[in-house]
Amino acid sequence: MIYILEDAINGILMGSIYGLTALGLTIIFGVLKVINFAHGSLLMVGMYVALWVVSFSGLHPYLALIVVVPVMYLFGYCLQDVIIKPIFKAEKDVREPITVIVVTTGIWYILDNLTLLIFGPQYRNLPDNPLKGKMLEIGDMMISVPKLWGFIAAVSTAAAVYWYFQKTRTGRAIRATSLDREAASLMGINQYKIYNVAFGIGTATAGIAAVTLVPFYNIFPTVGVLFDIKGFIIVVLGGLGSMGGAILGGIIIGMIESIAPQFMTATWTEAIVYGLFLVVLFVKPSGLFGVKYDW
């Protein structure tokens, strides 16, 4: 019984990091109304940025946030402004431009292959990692310290983003644009600037997730694909556009992946995850925590 409880706790902690990864994806979808297929690649870029910062500065891995977050925000802002915004302008009468999905898929392949070309396929880890293998002992249970910090980061980030959207002028403008971009434009809101800001926030959130992962996860050019797939499942499970749903959906997936192997093979565990995804998609397409409106 103690081992199941230990697995459940570690599953919740890892699932919260999955949810943090999906949080940026659901923010971008909530405003732009498109699925960003390059989100996993942006996470991968954030992991490499964190690796560089720690390697060259000697900072504690979590202190890399002071560099990674602004760098990733600017990267996402510019990516949206230079590459994606022209498509929105060309298809301004389309609520959900399909062309943007094609473009983000292209960005995904470009980022992954460019990273592979520059850095090679080798797995990389943080040098002199002070958190490597660090465990918190509670009775007979062993809890991963990096995953515990990841849980704290996920909950704090979700709360901060929610507060920002609810309480700030820009946040309210983002919510208004997500509900009705035409009406928001009539009220004097520059919808394209809002898109840039929302994409930047979503990318910065991926950067936070990247910093929580690098202390215990290998860094390689296609690492984003693994989290991209889970991110899409979590977003659908939790509810498109639901920030709380992203975290809770991630925790559900994390618990399944952690507890189920105690009773079955890993192959069946993946089958349960995808089976749950399909059931939710058929029974409640808005997701377990989806609401009528996007925010």
Domain coordinates in residue numbering, the chain? 2-224
Whether 57 has a pLDDT exceeding 70, the answer reads yes
Q: How far is CA 86 from CA 82, 91, 100, 200, 203, in A?
A: 7, 9, 10, 17, 19
Residues 224 and 41: their CA atoms lie apart, in Å, by: 5
| DSSP single-letter state for residue 138 | E
For the packed helices 39-57 and 191-213, what is the interaxial angle rounded to 10 degrees?
60
Cα Rg of the chain, angstroms: 19
Contact, 143 vs 10, CB < 8 A?
Answer: yes
Asked if 241 and 294 count as a contact pair (C-beta separation under 8 A), the reply is: yes
Is 291's pLDDT higher than 60?
no
What is the distance between the alpha carbons of residues 295 and 172, in angstroms, rounded to a whole number?
A: 10
Q: Tell me the per-residue pLDDT of 195-208, one tens digit each, with 9 for 90 and over.
A: 999 999 999 999 99
Least confident of 43-47, 93-97, 248-252: 93-97
Res 164: pLDDT:
93
Statement: residue 294 has pLDDT above 50: no
Confidence of residue 130 (pLDDT cuts 50, 70, 90): confident
In a 10 Å sphere around its CB, with 0-12 CB exposed, 13-18 middle and 19+ buried, how is residue 98 labelled? exposed
- How much is the pLDDT for 292? 53
Helices (H), 80-136: 85-90, 98-119
* pLDDT score of 93: 67
The pLDDT > 90 percentage for the chain reads 45
pLDDT tier, 295 (very low <50, low <70, confident <90, very high otherwise): very low
* Mean pLDDT across the chain: 87
Q: Which among 184, 154, 161 has a CA at the least distance from the CA of 241?
A: 161
Q: What is the mean pLDDT of residues 94-106?
A: 79
Q: How confident is the model at residue 88 (pLDDT cuts 50, 70, 90)?
A: confident
Q: For 217-242, write each residue's pLDDT tens digit.
A: 999 999 998 888 888 889 888 877 77
In 1-35, which positions are buried (b, 16+ CB within 10 angstroms) versus exposed (e)? eeeeebbebbbbbbbbbbbbbbbbbbbbbbbbbbb
* pTM for this predicted structure: 0.91
pLDDT at 236: 84
